[in-house]
């Protein structure tokens, strides 16, 4: 594993189309477009949406629709899924949807795949209906997708039109060592959900690298880590803004979800010691601070992990503060010394 510098690392965005207090999903989509256009301007590589269901504060359930919306409002940034949850969809439908997207926006669409439902079991039942108890084989479904995208499938009785013959990069997403083994076996790039599931991150990326088999898509391992980012001009301001994401994750821990709340002066009266411990464990890979703190901690993270790309997700209540956070983060990665963007 070669030692990498900040300037060696690609940087990208993961968006959940988070709904904040006092707003609607429609507002979130417009804000996503603002962020995507900014991201394209300041050098982000890709802009992904995550598929989640039955969450009042997450509006990215119709992931492929949002991908088309953002791709249509930008010109060069890659747009994709982080990810499409394969148990919820037939591989043929996924191939057709992403074949359509890749036909409309050639060379710009990524297909990240997850093996979980992206929701609770009751909602998963509503999504899958009679197929709820059917066996789901993640590696087998990846093979089906690759087959639908291949020119060799032209003689098959079942074809993905559009989709067949198109170059649509497939990524394996995961939060465990199982996904690392799948990504390695298929020779596909690996994106780890370290922004909420940090426990197996280091073990998983080591398994992936140790067992990687080169493929037509990828000759050597490629690791992307998703992390939480709250950047501001000062450490204190970033910590204040970060109380929103801490409340967001407290909703995950307690099961009491809410729209993304505004920041508060202190979390002391909001959580107890056990909730704080659980939330901070989930947020272990978070970069919260001013430019110098972000730069120092990110440099150490890259040196420790050897990642090839970092994907930032930012749950920040105020839209302009969120936009500015992505500006600061990009500038830290683009330059050896921080200089405020104008």
pLDDT at 117 over 70: no
Q: Mean pLDDT across the chain, nearest whole number?
A: 92
DSSP 228-271: EEEE-SSHHHHHHHTHHHHHHHHHHHHS---SBPPP-S-STTT-
Sign of CA dihedral 303, 305, 311, 313: negative
Q: Is 190 helix (H, G, I), strand (E, B) or coil?
A: strand
Residue 90 CB partners (closer than 8 Å, separation 6+): none
CA–CA distance, 106 with 316 (Å, rounded to integer): 32
pLDDT of residue 338: 37
pLDDT at 123 over 80: no
Strand partners, 47: 13, 79
Check residue 119 and report its DSSP letter.
Answer: S
The beta-strand segments (E) located in the chain are 10-15, 46-49, 78-85, 109-114, 170-174, 190-192, 223-231, 286-289, 309-313
More confident residue, 34 or 5: 34
Written as six digits, the tokens of 216 are 């037509």
Q: Is 327 helix (H, G, I), strand (E, B) or coil?
A: helix
pLDDT, tens only, 179-222: 999 999 999 999 999 998 999 999 999 999 999 999 999 999 99
pLDDT, tens only, 230-249: 999 999 999 999 999 999 99
Name the residue among 198, 197, 200, 199 with its Cα closest to residue 208. Answer: 200
Q: Is 176 helix (H, G, I), strand (E, B) or coil?
A: coil
pLDDT, tens only, 28-73: 999 999 999 999 999 999 999 999 888 889 999 999 999 999 999 9
- Strands 223-231 and 286-289, how do they pair? parallel
pTM: 0.92
pLDDT of residue 337: 40
Helix axes 319-334, 291-305, angle to 10 degrees: 60
pLDDT, tens only, 267-326: 999 999 999 999 999 999 999 999 999 999 999 999 999 999 999 999 999 999 999 999
Q: Are 111 and 81 in contact (CB under 8 A)?
A: yes
Q: φ and ψ at 311, to 5 degrees?
A: -115, 120
Name the residue among 203, 215, 282 with its Cα closest to residue 249. Answer: 282
Sign of CA dihedral 78, 31, 98, 75: negative
| Confidence bin at 341 (pLDDT 50/70/90) | very low
pLDDT, tens only, 126-182: 766 656 555 468 999 999 999 999 999 999 999 999 999 999 999 999 999 999 999
Provide the percentage of residues in the chain whose pLDDT is more than 70: 92
| Confidence bin at 6 (pLDDT 50/70/90) | confident
Written as six digits, the tokens of 341 are 């963007």
């Amino acid at each position: 594993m070669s030692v990498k510098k900040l300037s060696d690392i690609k940087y990208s965005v993961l968006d959940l189309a988070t709904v904040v207090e006092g707003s609607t999903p429609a507002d979130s989509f417009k804000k996503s477009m603002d962020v995507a256009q900014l991201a394209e301007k300041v050098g982000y590589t890709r802009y992904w949406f995550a598929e989640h269901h039955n969450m009042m504060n997450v509006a990215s359930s119709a992931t492929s629709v949002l991908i088309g919306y953002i791709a249509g409002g930008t010109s060069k940034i890659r747009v994709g899924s982080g990810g499409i949850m394969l148990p919820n969809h037939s591989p043929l439908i996924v191939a057709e949807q992403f074949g359509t997207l890749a036909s409309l926006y050639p060379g710009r669409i990524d297909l990240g795949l997850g093996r979980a439902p992206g929701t609770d079991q009751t909602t998963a039942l509503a999504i899958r209906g009679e197929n709820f108890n059917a066996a789901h084989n993640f590696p087998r479904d990846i093979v089906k997708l690759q087959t639908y995208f291949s020119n060799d499938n032209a003689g098959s009785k079942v074809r993905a039109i559009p989709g067949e013959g198109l170059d649509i990069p497939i990524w394996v997403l995961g939060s465990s060592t199982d996904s690392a083994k799948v990504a390695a076996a298929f020779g596909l790039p690996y994106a780890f959900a370290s922004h909420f599931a940090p426990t197996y991150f280091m073990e998983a990326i080591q398994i992936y690298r140790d067992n990687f088999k080169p493929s037509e898509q990828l000759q050597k391992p490629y690791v992307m880590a998703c992390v939480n980012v709250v950047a501001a001009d000062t450490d204190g301001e970033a910590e204040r803004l970060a109380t929103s994401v801490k409340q967001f994750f407290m909703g995950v821990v307690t099961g009491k979800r809410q729209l993304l709340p505004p920041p508060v002066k202190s979390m002391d009266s909001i959580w107890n010691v056990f909730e704080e411990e659980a939330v901070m464990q989930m947020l272990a890979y978070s970069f919260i601070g001013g430019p110098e703190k972000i730069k120092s901690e990110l440099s150490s993270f890259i040196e420790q992990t050897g990642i090839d790309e970092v994907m930032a997700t930012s749950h920040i209540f105020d839209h302009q503060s969120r936009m500015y956070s992505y500006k600061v983060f990009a500038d830290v990665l683009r330059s050896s010394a921080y200089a405020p963007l104008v």
